[in-house]
Structure 1
Amino acid sequence: MVYESSYDSGRRPFKPDLTRGYWAAPSDFIYACISLGFRMDLISMSWFIYQRMGGAMFPYIICMVLFVVPIMVMQSFMGQFSSSGFISSFRISPIFKGLGYISLGVNLAVLSYYCMFASVPLLYLFHSMRPTIPWSCEGVEQWLTNGTSTDVEHSCRIKNAVELNETMINSTDSYKYIAYEVPSVLFFNTIFGGEDLMENYEYNSPFMFSWELLVCTILCWGIIAGVFFHFYNTELISKFLRYAIWTALTLLVICLIRFLLIDIDLKYILRYFIATPRDIAESIPNTILFVVSAFGPGWGSVITLASFNHFKTNIMSYSWFICIGQMGIFMAYGILTHIIQSYFKGITQHFDDVENLYVYVNHHWPLYLSSGSVLAAMTWPNLWSIIFYAMLVLMALITMITCLFSVYQSIFDEFEMLRSRRTEIIFGIIGFLALMSLYTCSNHGVIFFSAMSMDSLFTQTSLNLLLLLVILWIYGRVRFQRDIEFMLGQRFSTWKVNILRFVAPICLCLLLLISVIAAFFEHSVASIVLHVAAVFLIVLPWIFLPGYMIYIILQTSGSFCIRFKRCCRPLDWYPVELEERQQYEEAMGNMDITHQLNEMENSEIVA
């Protein structure tokens, strides 16, 4: 039997939402998934190193072939075949439906802090409109006044070798280390009272709140609410995302070209494209983290986005387009980061030949904080600062809107009774997330968010591992290949399936180990608030999974073995559209299966 009806198992049948609509254009699915590559939380971490495209290209392509594209095809298959979001699509094996609820929790947890990646550049965007940019060499002296601030050495005050030797003549150290701060980072510190956020990041540091960042956060959520108010259906949101993504990519290309024209030594730029064997080896862990970004900041967005495709959409070729497009975005991020770091290296390069003297610029968060001082050194700094930070704001908002869109539709697909209260649910969730994100307006929230990011990375990797188990082992390789062939008219090769069954889990286990180590490191310095949030948003959902399994088994009749087998078999697993559904039954030789009971009213169904 291809599938069972929920009624046969004594449960309420799945009721598809036939009014959910499709993408306005088939390519909108590609644009929406490419926008998931705008993810910024991983590359904003202090320990993240990504400087050599020559070193990252080869491992990235290997990872893309081994598991990124195949897993994207699997997730797209689940959504497109079932025309439902990341919760309801797990009726492919109902006992694992709890994974859908876990992914819902992960998405909400990520969105609770992700607004920071829109509010921080929005703050810089507003200050870029001032006649004198506060973090420029002219503007920094206006607010860097009395107190400890006068002792801060920044990149606008770099001394020559003679001056440095005079100031350190009484030093007894054989090696002299001089660290200069970046004015745009110092400016960010001022909104929290002047504390050095990037150095004093211990969990017991004083709690400080920024009203400027609060206003920007509220404004970002207001923009998101306005988007969902005006673009209230699939076709409208599809067109909005298409034009917004094209705008963001255009701004990215413009900024990339402008940064390449910065007056720095050409050897720094060329070094990005040339990699030594050591560079390749060092880039492997970070490259694995990058390829996980292909699935977005949460989990399951690809499943939901694919559910808006027409049934015959060629997700195999689309998945390659998506991953190649995302690789281009990651490489652009790498070039920008490398140029920003090379700029600060270039202004201290005249000290390289001075014996026993090591001078460097202590830059942080290159794309978000340190970039401000590089932009201020350009011709027309206000214009380029506005363009650059507008790009970062738009990318973050697109990522949040795409993730929220997948969350909403997954909720409405699963809970039929909520479809009539769509507006209240949408704005209620936005309000809840806006309230939760207020913590990121504090110094603790800005610095310690990476602990939550690592927790979510662990959960995302675990979900991908379990997805391989559900589709390729429980649902089965043969049935998966059969469904793909029916849906697309082309076969998913057995060697690809075997790579997913035996090779991809090894890669994901390696990533799981990296995420565990990184999460342990991040939580070792995080605040108690992040520890509690991790328990509620990361740990408790995994306790829910076995509880949901037990609940499903108890809802089924028969002995334990029979109940377990019935709960693992697909339930209401068929194409939603009537024509494809009939063709599917005919192709599978199951014309004797009827589904009139699925069309009965709720009052006539025995729950």
Structure 2
Amino acid sequence: MAQKEKLQCLKDFHKDTLKPSPGKSPGTRPEDEAEGKAPQREKWASKLDFVLSVAGGFVGLGNVWRFPYLCYKNGGGAFLIPYFIFLFGGGLPVFFLEVALGQYTSEGGITCWAKLCPIFTGIGYASIVIVSLLNIYYIVILAWGLYYLFQCFQPELPWAKCKQPWNTEHCVEDTVRKNKTLWLAANATNFTSPVTEFWERNVLSISTGIEDIGPLKWDLALCLLAVWVICFFCIWKGVKSTGKVSVTHQHTLYFLVIVDLRQSFEILKNQQSHPTSQVWIDAGTQIFFSYAICLGAMTSLGSYNKYKYNCYRDCLLLGGLNSGTSFVSGFAIFSVLGFMAQEQGVDIADVAESGPGLAFIAYPKAVSMMPLPTLWAILFFIMLLLLGLDSQFVEVEGQITSIVDLYPAVLRKGYRREIFIAVMCFMSYLLGLAMVTKGGMYVFQLFDYYAASGVCLLWVAFFECIAVAWVYGVDNFYDAVEDMIGYRPNPWMKWSWSIITPVLCMGCFVFSLVKYKPLTYNKVYEYPDWAIGLGWILALSSMICIPMVMVIKILQSEGPLIEENQSKVKRKQTSPGPKWEQWLNQAHPHHCRNNDVSALCERNTIDVLSVVSYLLTLVGLHCPVYSR
């Protein structure tokens, strides 16, 4: 069949785009409810809604507190070499793949794989497990930020000085430390700063270990409830309304570049290092975290695009925005840390931290030394909340969309979707309460280190590329993309999906396992064996989905793989067609139902599995085929 005719048939496979109706449940058309038809999903009201929603989804806290620290830790400029390799060889290709897949199938993170390559449906389930665990603990950061924001509305920042009810005799203010004569006279060898004691003794009231979980911190529990309520009301009618807020978020972040940036350039310039295996691991995991890929969220957002939307162009622009924001925030953060190091008379290595240590210890300490400290503290924690909430909205929406698309006839009717969102938010809140106890920080670190770790994301990304490039067929997917955007993307995407990204992901995955170190807290507290085991259960709960679903699909097949492969051509001529074609016939009863289209719809799944089955039969094993 000619290429033009093939693309025309691909175009006819898709339903007409739908415009949203205000006041109705997202994904449901009023005329469908009135006529008793099966509910159909809607589309974005405008292109800007999609762009801003995606920008808000992956421009988040990782850009602010993880990228700057990793860049400094791994040698400044030397870190950028593996970072850009993973960016162009892994991050951007997988990001575009997920958005294009959602747009092509108009399905969420699970059902898109069921339609494109059913034997790899486990990819969708793995993504949902990861994002569900991520949603439980990520929002706890926002609860801490909200608590800090409330504490800012006082005549004096409570973490600026000692002599607070929670301070100990070891608390020493920075003004005393700066005066070296007074500092040596005090003979203070075992000291803590007021901001550290505020964080550990007031905010967390941290216990001695995960074995001592302790009671709830009710102030944090209320803050956690507040941010979940905000999250619910921002997504219960869809993410379209939240995307428009992203512009304010980005401007607030850029506004933080308030101090001379020369210190930041000096930091990067003075760092001399060569990339090591750990640098590559850090670069790879940072790319996958910052682009929010392998979570099903980008696929869900892309599924609301109109079929002819140029997602390739916008994915490239959004990728530039994401990485550019990381660099801008890196300069902003290290400008502040450089100012703080200069004020204290110490090296910047003594104040550089990552994660919660940067957001709730280093930066609050820095703003307490600035003019108008209360103003800068309020601006910082507002920025933290805006960035975090936007990412949380998108991740929860991706989770909800994926599950709703599994049962559209049930969950898209009336207000069932809203009720389902409320139930999911409430369940996540209850599970998150374990992280706002006195031992909650240990639980939080366990989730952060294992549940949504880079190992899990790399595992999912590897199979995504294998499924699209080697099973469905990279040329078939390129045909679909060409029909959607009107031209074929740069061949680099094809090479990345086929070879570069799988090699990078598997290499980084292996290195991560080889370099694995058990989790510790503050490099002092060592987690017990049972906690480490629980962490690996969290990690494997998502990774096991892909091979498990694959085995289930094969066991549910009708016959031996080789026999199925030999009768494939005959079935094309006598049967009404595979499930994929039946679905297309229901959507488009008047278009493209000829043998050429059936051949076009056929994927390479049977061919690939035939080889596997044949090899197994050589050693006396029987492997049934996955029947479509």
Do these two structures clear the TM 0.5 threshold for a shared fold by scoring above it? yes
Query: Which whole-Å CA distance do the structure 2 matches of 1:584 and 1:454 have between them?
Result: 49
Superposed displacement of residue 98, structure 1 = 1.9
Choose from 387, 397, 411 the match for 1:418: 411
Equivalent pair of 2:308/2:484 in contact (CA under 8 Å): yes
Aligned to 1:65: 88
Choose from 151, 156, 163 the match for 1:141: 163
Query: Which whole-Å CA distance do the structure 1 matches of 2:330 and 2:515 have between them?
Result: 21
Superposed displacement of residue 186, structure 1 = 1.7
Superposed displacement of residue 290, structure 1 = 1.9
Choose from 285, 288, 293 the match for 2:284: 288
Query: Which whole-Å CA distance do the structure 1 matches of 2:67 and 2:196 have between them?
Result: 14
**Change in CA separation of 1:135 and 1:492 when aligned onto 2, cut-off 3 Å:** same
Equivalent pair of 2:466/2:497 in contact (CA under 8 Å): no
Query: Which whole-Å CA distance do the structure 2 matches of 1:48 and 1:378 have between them?
Result: 22
Aligned to 1:336: 332
Superposed displacement of residue 44, structure 1 = 5.5
The one-letter amino acid paired with 1:81 is Y
Are residues 1:30 and 2:51 paired? yes
Superposed displacement of residue 180, structure 1 = 5.8
Choose from 366, 371, 376 the match for 1:374: 366
Superposed displacement of residue 379, structure 1 = 2.5
Aligned to 1:395: 387
Query: 1:189-204 maps to which residues of 2 (within 5 A)?
Result: 189-191=200-202, 203-204=210-211
Query: Which whole-Å CA distance do the structure 2 matches of 1:271 and 1:26 have between them?
Result: 40
Residues 64-83 of structure 1: CA deviation (Å, up to 9, x unaligned) = 22222111221122111100
Residues 542-584 of structure 1: CA deviation (Å, up to 9, x unaligned) = 4444443343334443333455898xx9852799799999777
Residues 413-456 of structure 1: CA deviation (Å, up to 9, x unaligned) = 12233333322211110110000111111343324523323322
Aligned to 2:170: 151
Query: 1:200-349 maps to which residues of 2 (within 5 A)?
Result: 203-204=210-211, 207=214, 209-229=216-236, 232=237, 234=238, 237-238=239-240, 240-254=241-255, 256-258=256-258, 260=259, 268-274=263-269, 276-278=271-273, 284-296=280-292, 299-349=295-345
Q: Where do 5+ consecutive residues of structure 2 fail to align?
A: 11-31, 569-576, 602-627
**Change in CA separation of 1:295 and 1:45 when aligned onto 2, cut-off 3 Å:** closer
Query: Which whole-Å CA distance do the structure 1 matches of 2:230 and 2:131 have between them?
Result: 19
Superposed displacement of residue 279, structure 1 = 6.7
**Change in CA separation of 1:301 and 1:46 when aligned onto 2, cut-off 3 Å:** closer
Superposed displacement of residue 122, structure 1 = 0.6
Aligned to 1:506: 503
Aligned to 2:97: 74
Superposed displacement of residue 204, structure 1 = 4.8
Query: Which whole-Å CA distance do the structure 2 matches of 1:72 and 1:311 have between them?
Result: 18
Query: Which whole-Å CA distance do the structure 1 matches of 2:133 and 2:349 have between them?
Result: 41
Equivalent pair of 2:127/2:294 in contact (CA under 8 Å): yes
Equivalent pair of 2:136/2:431 in contact (CA under 8 Å): yes
Cα RMSD (Å): 4.0
Residues 27-73 of structure 1: CA deviation (Å, up to 9, x unaligned) = 32222222233343697679953337644444433322222211122
Equivalent pair of 1:82/1:573 in contact (CA under 8 Å): no
The one-letter amino acid paired with 2:553 is I
Superposed displacement of residue 465, structure 1 = 0.2
Aligned to 1:599: none
Deviates more, 1:406-415 or 1:431-440: 406-415
Question: Normalized against structure 2, the TM-score is what?
Answer: 0.76
Equivalent pair of 2:170/2:190 in contact (CA under 8 Å): no
Choose from 123, 128, 144 the match for 1:120: 144
Query: Which whole-Å CA distance do the structure 2 matches of 1:331 and 1:359 have between them?
Result: 19
**Change in CA separation of 1:459 and 1:576 when aligned onto 2, cut-off 3 Å:** farther
Are residues 1:485 and 2:482 paired? yes
Give the % identical residues. 18
Aligned to 1:21: 42
Choose from 116, 128, 137 the match for 1:92: 116
The one-letter amino acid paired with 1:296 is A
Choose from 396, 416, 426 the match for 1:404: 396
Equivalent pair of 1:209/1:443 in contact (CA under 8 Å): yes
Superposed displacement of residue 482, structure 1 = 1.9
SS in structure 2 of the partner of residue 85 of structure 1: coil
Query: Which whole-Å CA distance do the structure 2 matches of 1:376 and 1:58 have between them?
Result: 35
Query: Which whole-Å CA distance do the structure 2 matches of 1:366 and 1:308 have between them?
Result: 36
Aligned to 1:572: 580
The one-letter amino acid paired with 1:423 is E
Equivalent pair of 2:351/2:362 in contact (CA under 8 Å): no
**Change in CA separation of 1:125 and 1:530 when aligned onto 2, cut-off 3 Å:** farther
Residues 171-194 of structure 1: CA deviation (Å, up to 9, x unaligned) = xxxxxx967644322211222676
Number of residues of Structure 1 aligned to a counterpart in Structure 2:
547
Deviates more, 1:371-380 or 1:531-540: 531-540
Query: Which whole-Å CA distance do the structure 2 matches of 1:124 and 1:297 have between them?
Result: 30
Query: Which whole-Å CA distance do the structure 1 matches of 2:45 and 2:598 have between them?
Result: 34
Choose from 103, 123, 130 the match for 1:106: 130
Query: Which whole-Å CA distance do the structure 2 matches of 1:25 and 1:499 have between them?
Result: 30
Query: Which whole-Å CA distance do the structure 2 matches of 1:491 and 1:585 have between them?
Result: 25
Query: Which whole-Å CA distance do the structure 2 matches of 1:49 and 1:570 have between them?
Result: 49
Q: Where do 5+ consecutive residues of structure 1 fail to align?
A: 5-14, 169-176, 353-357, 595-606
Query: Which whole-Å CA distance do the structure 1 matches of 2:149 and 2:513 have between them?
Result: 36
Equivalent pair of 1:181/1:363 in contact (CA under 8 Å): no
Query: Which whole-Å CA distance do the structure 2 matches of 1:486 and 1:359 have between them?
Result: 52
**Change in CA separation of 1:532 and 1:210 when aligned onto 2, cut-off 3 Å:** farther
Query: 1:523-534 maps to which residues of 2 (within 5 A)?
Result: 525-526=526-527, 531=532, 534=535
**Change in CA separation of 1:94 and 1:397 when aligned onto 2, cut-off 3 Å:** same
Query: Which whole-Å CA distance do the structure 2 matches of 1:206 and 1:460 have between them?
Result: 29
Equivalent pair of 1:88/1:413 in contact (CA under 8 Å): yes
**Change in CA separation of 1:314 and 1:206 when aligned onto 2, cut-off 3 Å:** closer
Aligned to 1:355: none
Are residues 1:445 and 2:440 paired? yes
Residues 387-425 of structure 1: CA deviation (Å, up to 9, x unaligned) = 210111111111111111111111111223333332221
Equivalent pair of 2:67/2:286 in contact (CA under 8 Å): no
Deviates more, 1:422-431 or 1:29-38: 29-38
Equivalent pair of 2:64/2:330 in contact (CA under 8 Å): no
**Change in CA separation of 1:360 and 1:490 when aligned onto 2, cut-off 3 Å:** closer
**Change in CA separation of 1:46 and 1:84 when aligned onto 2, cut-off 3 Å:** closer
Aligned to 1:602: none
Equivalent pair of 1:39/1:296 in contact (CA under 8 Å): no
The one-letter amino acid paired with 2:390 is I
Equivalent pair of 1:39/1:399 in contact (CA under 8 Å): yes
Query: Which whole-Å CA distance do the structure 2 matches of 1:343 and 1:208 have between them?
Result: 39
Equivalent pair of 2:136/2:428 in contact (CA under 8 Å): yes
Superposed displacement of residue 458, structure 1 = 1.7
The one-letter amino acid paired with 1:108 is S
Deviates more, 1:46-55 or 1:385-394: 46-55
**Change in CA separation of 1:252 and 1:361 when aligned onto 2, cut-off 3 Å:** closer
